[in-house]
Amino acid sequence: MSGTTAVSTFAADVARDLALSPRQLQSKYLYDRLGSRLFEAICRLPWYTITRAELGLLFRHAAEVAAELPDPLTLTELGPGDGEKIALLAAALVRDRSALATHLIDISQSALDQTERRLGRYEGVSVVGHRASYEEGLRRVAKGRNGDGGLLVLFLGSNLGNFDRSAAGEFLRAIRDTLRPGDALLLGADLVKPEPDLILAYDDPLGVTAAFNKNVLLRINRELGGDFDLSAFAHRAVFDPAESRVEMRLVSLRRQRVRIGACATTVDFEEGDFIWTESSYKYGAPALRRLVEGAGFACRRQWLDPEAQFALTLFFAA
Ligand code: AVI
């Protein structure tokens, strides 16, 4: 994070959210430079199946997705990561089209650069990067459209799962509002599965997810002048079946007081108190379709990985 505005927003968010009960931190703060690297490592872990399952479905079904879509087409991805998934689809889409316009939307410049380089290798594929929030980037893409071609929005990686249920509905509605009838959304989402599998995915035996989670405390120490003792907190993943979500927590291992200079605050913890750092909602396949349809889409096709319990679903704006 750079610039005083960003730091003061971070400080204000941390001060407000650590005063809640239970204490919280927004999951977007997990992704500084090191956090993003740790998340990439999580995606390679044998217990975290989301990335592999989604890539497998895209690899097997990209041609079927391409066959459902109009020509000309604009392809845009919200949060392209390293660009592997959009590249797979772009390759299939450009096969039957003379040209394909792609737009990447991310707040991370390095994600945009990496994906632009990757897509640049494909003949007939043009790339524009938008360093912006998803909503703002989509508005820019929609505004810049000319002619009557279609638009396909990719929202992959089960990122929808990190939104609360009502926020997920609102976000899908915001996407829908930028689209025209006949535009499409390809959504990758992790499905609910047995609790032991979920816990292993979010509390892996190598401790990578624990490092990913605790890194947010390191970040507060570095950027906000905090004095969190990282060894006095433990990573926990808890599944709440009523909410169908995995919660990541940082549990205080003893009674302690933490000071955060930039927030001009101290936070007291009893042993067992925790900070809730992330929710990952897990849907059943029909509930997922209902959620998206409720935001103004119609489901066209759904491809499932039965072993990983992961769904790739193609919707059209109704
Ligand atoms: C980015 N997001 C979809 C991941 C998830 O599965 O909720 C973040 C993550 N948290 C712990 N492991 C992975």
pLDDT tens across 277-294, in order? Answer: 999 999 999 999 999 999
Average pLDDT over residues 225-232: 98
Helix (H) or strand (E) holding 197: helix 195-202
Given a cut of 90, whether residue 45 has pLDDT beyond it is yes
pLDDT tens across 180-196, in order? Answer: 999 999 999 999 999 99
* Alpha carbon of 159 to ligand 1 centroid (Å): 7
Pick from 288, 214, 223: nearest CA to 248? 214
* Alpha carbon of 249 to ligand 1 centroid (Å): 13
Does the beta carbon of 81 lie inside 6 Å of ligand 1? no
pLDDT tens across 157-166, in order? Answer: 999 999 999 9
Lateral strand order in the sheet of 233-240: 23-24, 274-281, 245-252, 233-240
- Spell out where 71-124 has E strands: 73-78, 100-106
Which residue, judged by its Cα, is nearest atom 7 of ligand 1? 280
The CA-atom distances, in angstroms, between 82 and each of 116, 131, 243, 307, 315 are 9, 15, 31, 25, 24
Does the beta carbon of 244 lie inside 6 Å of ligand 1? no
Which residue, judged by its Cα, is nearest atom 3 of ligand 1? 159
From first CA to last CA, the distance across the chain in angstroms is: 39
Does the beta carbon of 158 lie inside 6 Å of ligand 1? yes
Does the beta carbon of 161 lie inside 6 Å of ligand 1? yes
pLDDT tens across 74-112, in order? Answer: 999 999 998 999 999 999 999 989 889 999 999 889 889
What angle do the packed helices 4-18 and 208-224 form, to 10 degrees?
A: 120
